[in-house]
Structure 1
Amino acid sequence: MKRLVVIFSMLITTYGWSQNTFKRSLMLMGSDFEITVVAPDSAAADKHITNAVNEMERIEKLISSWDPDSQTSEINRNAGKKAVLVDRELFELIERALGLSQLTDGAFDITYASMDHIWQFDGSMQKMPNSEEVKASVAKVGYKNVELDKINSAVYLKRSGMKIGFGAIGKGYAADRAKKLLRDMGVSSGIINASGDITAWGLQPNGAPWKVAITNPMDKQKAYGTLPVTEGAVVTSGNYEKYVVFNGKRYSHIIDPRTGYPSNGLVSVTVFAPKAELADALATSIFVMGKTVGLNRIAQIPGVSCIIIDDKGTLFASEEIEIAKL
């Protein structure tokens, strides 16, 4: 297997851009998105990017749990009552999400939306919730209580009050769909940054690969270096901005859906995968699973690798990745 030399920083750097590279920044899914394409002129680029934006807005309407008219909201409203017929696209997304839940032993779980949000990471928490509050907060969470009817493309949440949500997978899926659409339209090269969920294909106009960099969470002002990406996705999850500290222990905003307690011990996880949807889900899962289990689980998935930074600033990586600091 070809070894990757990975060096860190969290800016996207694109050296050697020419006038044939076009970029648009905008808000989608409540987050900052940036779409970059290589095209012969600005008119062609604008058309391509607009079509990609329209596709991501379509996906947002399909998966949004905030839109009362979405199929996702319809599923949630009927929890414990009846199965809901949904578009095949949504059904298959939920099916893949449940597969990821099995793969990660529930560290990833789209029914996390059922949680009572008793942890606050805005500076307002003065003490930890007690064990009974934590236990109650995840009482309705559990991917095994999602029932799928593949023949009729129907989804049923078995317990009243259950909810599904795509916060840990939706942006990655939208980026993948936009990338596919652009490639189908003949866009030979581009990079999509869906609020940190990055997917790229092709080369820059000067023949160089796109360059993605990953922040050093212990000192965001200093860069380790960059990683060339010509095909695939890179997603980084970090807890260095949203966390609380009690009794000298740091608790991340990433909650274990199985226990209701925040993850701890890691500050940054970067996953490299063929698709952003997969990388998105796994980056969150590794935070919950921890370094040892996370590295072991990633090693079992073909074409996927990761870099982990613990709360002491130590780097750990999949075997096929070679870390080279500047």
Structure 2
Amino acid sequence: MRYVVLLLLILLGFNATSQVLRKRTVRLMGSRFDITLVATDFLSAERNIDTVIAEVTRIENLISDWKADTQISQVNKNAGVAPVRVDPEVFALTERALHFSKITNGAFDISFAAMDRIWKFDGSMTEMPSPEAVRKSVEKVGYKNIVLDREHSTIFLKRKGMKIGFGALGEGYAADRCRDMMLAKGVKAGIVNGSGDMSTWGKQPDGSDWTIGITNPLRNDTVFAVVPLRHSAIVTSGSYEKFVVFNGKRYAHIINPSTGYPATGVSSVTVFGPSAETANGFSTSLMVLGKDAGLKLIKKYPQYSYILITDEGQIFFSPNLGLKQHSL
């Protein structure tokens, strides 16, 4: 019997000295989530993946702006009417998002959810929207009209028709939360990747670093750099296939919420650092701000490193990443 039990333990992956890697891909928060965990056995890895899925689902049911019964949907329904009390977790996430709006002077704005979708990046656009249409598209956007009351944990949108939505910032937050939860449970390595917002920790089963390939935005079938993930999070924002060109100028699918016009001049931004939520805020903001203002901003935050690629193929990066200087 002892030998039978030992054989079963080996077959099931119960080996104190070995590690197994399990991965599952699911659709959560309207996006693809890839969950990769390293564990001592398959069964505990699968259970922990279930825990990650449950946590992301819990967060989605708090902050989704397209599910009717979430707290954020209630905030949006009461725009211009009354403040809505939300959980401290939702309040804190909103507060952090508004901080990004302030330091970027509106280049990042969670009230983008009310923006009219007048720009199309599916090949159907044949001419630019009129200046009047662009101006009108952002009439209900403006982070300064979001009122937070910390004492009562309420959010109030001043203008009727306003909406807030966390988008990829919420995915980054969920990835961070799941990483911290897994670490607290003793899971020593893994990746939670919410549609490109990645929180990582530990190393692969063979002891090597997790690595990521940075795609060439001018030839998206090639990788121009492979970077070891010694940081806790990585996020990439880029136009890649989602852009339009008018009069020789490339317009990315990321819209400047303060002007209504698409970002120009930057094709891709990758940000590394301790938090996927914060890295997402930076990557989106740098796309909108452009090279000069964007690099000036992120250099104030030395915990975060960057790779920025312009439309012309120029590459700018943090010295600590150890990349060689060249253009694409």
Q: Does 1:258 align with 2:285?
A: no
Mapping for residues 15-94 of structure 1, pairs under 5 Å:
20-94=20-94
Identity %: 52
Task: Say which is worse superposed, 113-122 or 253-262, in terms of deviation.
Answer: 113-122
- Report the Cα distance in structure 1 between the residues aligned to 2:231 and 2:318, rounded to whole angstroms: 19
1:237–1:269: 8 Å Cα contact kept in structure 2? Answer: yes
In structure 2, relative to structure 1, the CA distance for the partners of 1:283 and 1:264 (3 Å cut) is same
Counterpart mapping for 1:99-118 below 5 A? 99-118=99-118
Q: Matched residues in 1 for 2:324 and 2:122: separation?
A: 36
Deviations 1:88-109 (A, max 9, x none): 1000000000001111111000
Match of 1:168 in 2: 168
Q: For the Cα contact (< 8 Å) 1:295–1:317, is it kept in 2?
A: no
Q: Note the alpha carbon deviations across 1:61-106, whole angstroms, 9 max, x for none.
A: 1111110000000000000000000011000000000001111111
Structure 2 Cα separation of the partners of residues 321 and 186 of structure 1: 29
State the distance in 1 between where 2:20 and 2:121 align: 43
> What residue number does 1:284 align with?
284
> C-alpha displacement at 1:250, in angstroms?
1.3
Deviation at residue 231 of structure 1 after TM alignment: 3.7
Answer yes or no: is 1:95 the counterpart of 2:95: yes
Contact map agreement 1:23 1:37 (CA 8 A) in 2? yes
Question: Could you tell me how far apart the structure 2 residues matched to 1:199 and 1:46 are?
Answer: 18
- Structure with the higher helix share, 1 or 2: 2
Offset, 1:19:
5.6
Structure 2 residue aligned with 1:245: 245
The match for 1:148 is 148
Task: In structure 2, give the amino acid aligned to 1:73.
Answer: S
Per-residue deviation, residues 186-233 of structure 1 (Å, max 9, x unmatched): 101111111111111111222111112211112223222311113411
Alignment of 1:171-182 (within 5 A): 171-182=171-182
Q: Which amino acid aligns with 2:105?
A: D
The residue type equivalent to 1:186 in the other structure is G
Query: Which position in structure 2 is the counterpart of 1:123?
Result: 123
Structure 2 Cα separation of the partners of residues 220 and 243 of structure 1: 13
- The runs of 5 or more residues in structure 2 that have no matched partner are 1-17
How far apart are the structure 1 equivalents of 2:274 and 2:282?
12
Give matches, 1:169-318, under 5 Å: 169-318=169-318
SS in 2 for 1:46: helix
CA–CA distance in structure 2, aligned partners of residues 221 and 117 of structure 1 = 29
Question: Which residue matches 1:3?
Answer: none
- Tell me the CA shift for residue 319 of structure 1: 4.0
**Contact between 1:234 and 1:273, CA under 8 Å: does it hold in 2?**
yes
Structure 1 consecutive aligned stretches of length 4 or more whose deviation exceeds 6 Å? none
Separation in structure 1 between the aligned mates of residue 93 and residue 316 of structure 2, nearest angstrom: 31
TM-score, with normalisation over the residues of structure 2?
0.91
CA distance in 2, matches of 1:297, 1:135: 26
How many residues are matched?
A: 309
SS state of the match for residue 214, structure 1? strand
Report the 3-state secondary structure (helix = DSSP H, G, I; strand = E; otherwise coil) of the residue aligned with 1:81: coil
Conserved? CA contact 1:307–1:315, under 8 Å: yes
How many angstroms does 1:322 deviate by?
A: 3.0
Letter in 2 for 1:88: P
Q: Report the structure number with the largest CA radius of gyration.
A: 2
- The AA in structure 2 aligned to 1:313 is G
**Aligned partners of 1:229 and 1:29: how far apart in 2?**
25
What whole-Å deviation, never above 9, does each CA across 1:223-255 have from its counterpart, x for those lacking one? 223111134111111102111111221111100
